A and B are shown apart, each in its own frame.
Chain A
Amino acid sequence: MFDIQSYMKAGSVDEAVALLAAHPNARLVAGGTDVLIRLRHGSRDFTRLVDIHGLAELRFISLDPLQNIRIGSGTVFTDLAQSDLILRHLPVLADAAGSVGGPQIRNMATIGGNICNGAPSADSAPALFALNALLELKSNRGFRQVPVADFYLGPSVVDLKPGEVLVSIIIPREAYQGYAGHYYKYAMRKAMDIATIGCAVSLKTSGNRLADYRIAYGVAGPTPLRCPSAEKTAVNQMISDTLVSKIAAAVEDDVSPRTSWRATREFRLHIISELARKVTRTALDRVRKE
């Protein structure tokens, strides 16, 4: 039984923006896979809802004229995991989308909700971090764009300002063309689980060298994060087992996992390091296959 005080169904993004402006205490709900859980736990923050679930203008995956990939915030994970465009150009995101929950969750949960929820364990976040994704937000003050890495302010805190709706996620052309990638979710079971550690790699090779290398983690710190020192270690280096080991060692300087009853810091660090190795190798294999 949910203690819902008011519920307003938005017919469009503009209407959602107007409803949020008129009802400052209201919160957005899309797939409901996070919001309804909070309501069930008695959260008072989500008792007034503006529903944007199912808005066609938020559910799309497209290439814009500049070859940037645009993903509507209301796109569900099933769509992402099965989209030819995503599978062809953003395999790292397809991996992440396919690892979320189970089929029922993936049919309901949206990528926008996953990001705005702010969880450090969000499966789509490391992939978007590794893709240098931009978020496009709309409010009655207009549009603004923000890099996904800047959107995360702290544990479960994101830079979603009052009255704002996340409209789309943009992967710039230069951030994905010529890149291969992979996301691996390390969890306690193969479905219906929260990541113990999530790791995304996006890389570009030039001959035997790594022309570019981006690596991002979930649950390796208070927010999803990139690994600048590991990336610096990797870029422009000859591809070799030694380099992969160096990267695996370097990520430990970039992360700050903590001990919780779910896992100790030592164990998480070990897995973080092993995932750098595993995910980088898989991404390199994907380059070779192309």
Chain B
Amino acid sequence: MATGESIIRHDAVAKVTGRAEYTQDLYKSRMLVAKYLRSTIAHGRVTDIDVSAARSLPGVAAVFTFKDVPRQPFATAGHPMSLDSSHRDVADRRLLTGDIRFMGDEIAVVVAEDELIAGNALKQIRVTCTPFPVLIHPVDILDPNARQIHEGSANRVGEHGWRFGADIESAMDHADHVVEDSFETAMVQHCHLENHVVFAYMDDLDRIVIVTSTQIPHIVRRIVGEALDFPLSRIKVIKPYIGGGFGNKQDVIFEPMAAFLTLHLNGRPVAIHMTREEEMIGTRVRHPFHIRVKTGVMKDGTLAARDVDAIAVTGAYASHGHSVAAAGGGKIGCLYPHTPTRYHAQTLYANLPAAGAMRAYGSPQIMYALECATEDAARAITMDSVEFRLKNIVRQGDIDPLSQKTIHTCGLAECLIRGRDMIGWQSKKKKYAAYKTGPVRRGLGVACFSYASGTYPVCVEIASVRLSLNQDGTVHIMAGATEIGQGSDTVIAQMAAHTLGISHEHVRVIQAQDTDVTPFDTGAYASRQAYVSSNAVFRASVRLKEHILNHAARMTGMHSDLLDIEADHIVASDTRTPVLDLKTLALDTCYHKTRGGQLTAEISHKTTTSAPVFGCTFADIEVDIPLCKITLRQIVNVHDSGIILNPVQARGQVHGGVAMGIGATLSEEFLIDSGTGRVFNGNLLDYKFPTFMDTPPVDADFIETREPSSGYGNKALGEPPVISPPPAIRNALLDATGVPVNRLPITPEVLFKAFTTHGLIRPGRTGHV
């Protein structure tokens, strides 16, 4: 039983001892560094650029401007390619630009012997620009007279809508109560530990090698080929250890430039690494959303109808385009399939940093608004928040009204009941009734979510593995699944060990990936890797086991049907007594002069399901009204992510996701000057993500359903824990104070304004009620 055990992740020791080699640990001699010249205005056009002084500086190898790079635009989103050209990502980016679309846009690049020289050279470049009015707010962006940030776009990247269930307008008319409000989420950033870093060189006259911190090596290979019009097979992408991505590295941002530079510098190695300040504005962020939700509710607690209208802001470039708003809305049907619902969304360009993929891809925004609105509906009929949800949520066997697929596994009701017990809902509700007045108040909140285990049927879901029996009877796996810290290498080893009957210590997934030899997979995103890989690993492991038993049959003269593998031995399947040890067998496969051969099994499998996953957050908070501060007392997250392959890793995902959710709830946001488009706080002092000290006790638990579409019963878990903490905490604040705060983050200053508006504090008169 290798799955279901809390084994130590296979890369743990290498990482904690500092031996694991990340991109920046790898070095090529004579490596140059490239630094971007970034715009100091948010919207404009370069009318003149003079790089002659920079070019002549000693130590400068080259300077390229937007005039020197390929003209054809390319799409950067790390999606699988769509064979349907109408579903392709928007190609709106060039390597460098003279059309400035956000403050920090990349106009030129200097390549020099070191960073200091490059930095000095950047200061020598003279740029003249024509500025245009900065477009930040949807009302300005959509003004018919507004300048088109991308010509021909009308400042819209995409728009769509759908509806399911009974007639919404009439259901609203017949509802006992209708609650309606607007919600806003902030532009936040992934803040993975390792910044974007890439270097490229040519190891032959016509081959480019790219070493990069990416979630999607095979897609990097394709997009670099597209951007440079260079044959894909002559591009090799190497992925070393990765220090986190959270979606920001599901985008091909700097690899095309690194490849372009080495190509133009005679194959000399060129590195691009972001400073943290550049990382924050110059990579990707989470789309801020403006969401209006109207909810009709009956006195008996039935959700009668829902109407959701969302505007997502993608910033200067499409990146993942409208997919984020589409994916976020697409999860509503799986959560409340019985409630007639209408959804409409549009995604707008703006003169802001480009938004792309970030953990849970639109769901944190949509589920936040939806679960705040659900709470408001429950309160409108004074029904208990948990009972209200239990009455309306999805159950196992329901049909997803959008995909029309049956939901085969759903433990959401059990999650809510378990979470309610874990937080002590009933007893605290009574106790906290005494904390609804005075300066320090307490409250409880709940929110739930649904998510998916991949992107099918929107995108292909392909996973590939190659298993080979080593000479010593151990197994190595080359997997297309990209380990970026989430633990996929470890659980893939557990899966194979489970099916093969080999101890997990004897199964190892090759960590570093190289697109020349690593089997094809589209990469780490959509919480898909363990789910889609399970189907490939299971099939490949069954096949390798057959090969092993067939060889054992040849060696022993016994029929392979009578043999099995257990604890690294060939055993008789009836008596379980060892017949042969795997090492002896492995040596025989390699060195016997006539029989057998190296035993391998390779499977590439397309999964045509995307099992919905579910979960909920319970929050217990204390609010200091005069100090405008929320203290989190306890957070409980309960997930239905199918069978849990590795409980300690799973809990780690939940703890990390909850911490990220807490940041989005209480403190994280890009503070933007609406006049200039400048991000005031693009650094880790002023952008406040929570520290260890700010994170309360987090209790994680799981309702283990067995998902039939997965090789090992498992479903997605990587992204989901981030989704429901924000609405749960907002709902707890409402419970504690009666004040609805319908925007994220709920910072002390936001609380100050809300408490002032609601008369809980009276500034200038030093006091509070």
- Residue numbers of A with Cβ under 8 A of B are 1, 3, 42, 102, 186, 188-194, 196, 245, 248-249, 252, 261-264, 266-267, 269-271, 273-274, 277-278
Segment from B509-517, B606-614, B688-696 that makes contact with A: B688-696
Q: Are A102 and B691 in contact (CB under 8 A)?
A: yes
Whether B681 sits at the interface, judged by CB under 8 Å, is yes
Q: Roughly how many angstroms separate A193 CA and B693 CA in the complex, as a whole number?
A: 11
Q: Are A271 and B627 in contact (CB under 8 A)?
A: yes
Whether B747 sits at the interface, judged by CB under 8 Å, is yes
For B690, give its contact among A189, A262, A277 (CB under 8 Å).
Answer: A189
| Chain A hits for B763, CB < 8 A | 266, 269-270
Q: Are B116 and A3 in contact (CB under 8 A)?
A: yes
Shortest CB–CB separation between residue B736 and chain A, in angstroms? 18
| Chain B hits for A269, CB < 8 A | 763-764
Shortest CB–CB separation between residue A52 and chain B, in angstroms? 25
Q: Are A188 and B114 in contact (CB under 8 A)?
A: no
Interface code B689-705, partner A: CB below 8 Å = 1, 0 otherwise? 01111100000000000
Given A1-B115, A42-B119: A270 touches B688 (CB 8 Å cut-off): no
Q: Dominant SS at the B interface?
A: loop
Q: Are A261 and B673 in contact (CB under 8 A)?
A: yes
Given A189-B693, A273-B766: A261 touches B688 (CB 8 Å cut-off): no
Shortest CB–CB separation between residue A234 and chain B, in angstroms? 15
Q: For chain B residues 677-693, which have a beta carbon within 8 Å of chain A?
A: 680-681, 685-686, 688, 690-693
What are 30 A-B pairs at a CB distance below 8 A? A1-B114, A1-B115, A42-B119, A188-B747, A189-B667, A189-B690, A189-B691, A189-B694, A190-B691, A190-B693, A191-B693, A192-B691, A196-B748, A245-B766, A245-B767, A249-B766, A263-B749, A266-B763, A267-B628, A267-B749, A267-B752, A269-B764, A270-B628, A270-B752, A270-B761, A270-B763, A271-B628, A271-B748, A273-B766, A274-B626
Shortest CB–CB separation between residue A194 and chain B, in angstroms? 6
Q: Roughly how many angstroms separate A84 CA and B573 CA in the complex, as a whole number?
A: 70
For A1, give its contact among B116, B685, B747, B764 (CB under 8 Å).
Answer: B116
Whether B671 sits at the interface, judged by CB under 8 Å, is yes
- Residue numbers of B with Cβ under 8 A of A are 114-116, 119, 626-628, 667, 671, 673, 680-681, 685-686, 688, 690-694, 747-749, 752, 761, 763-764, 766-767
Q: What residue in chain B is nearest A193 (Cβ atoms)?
A: B688
| Chain B hits for A277, CB < 8 A | 626, 766
Q: Are B685 and A188 in contact (CB under 8 A)?
A: no
| Chain B hits for A186, CB < 8 A | 627
Q: A193-B688, A261-B673 are in contact. List 10 more A-B contacts (CB 8 A).
A: A1-B115, A186-B627, A189-B667, A189-B688, A189-B690, A191-B692, A194-B685, A270-B628, A273-B766, A274-B627
Q: What residue in chain A is nearest B667 (Cβ atoms)?
A: A188
| Chain A hits for B692, CB < 8 A | 191
Q: What residue in chain A is nearest B761 (Cβ atoms)?
A: A270
Shortest CB–CB separation between residue B278 and chain A, in angstroms? 13
Q: What residue in chain A is nearest B678 (Cβ atoms)?
A: A261
Q: Roughly how many angstroms separate A267 CA and B752 CA in the complex, as a whole number?
A: 7
Q: Roughly how many angstroms separate A274 CA and B751 CA in the complex, as a whole number?
A: 15
Q: Roughly how many angstroms separate A190 CA and B629 CA in the complex, as a whole number?
A: 11
Q: Roughly how many angstroms separate A277 CA and B626 CA in the complex, as a whole number?
A: 10
| Chain B hits for A263, CB < 8 A | 749
Q: Are B681 and A261 in contact (CB under 8 A)?
A: yes
Q: Roughly how many angstroms separate A193 CA and B666 CA in the complex, as a whole number?
A: 15
Q: What residue in chain A is nearest B762 (Cβ atoms)?
A: A270
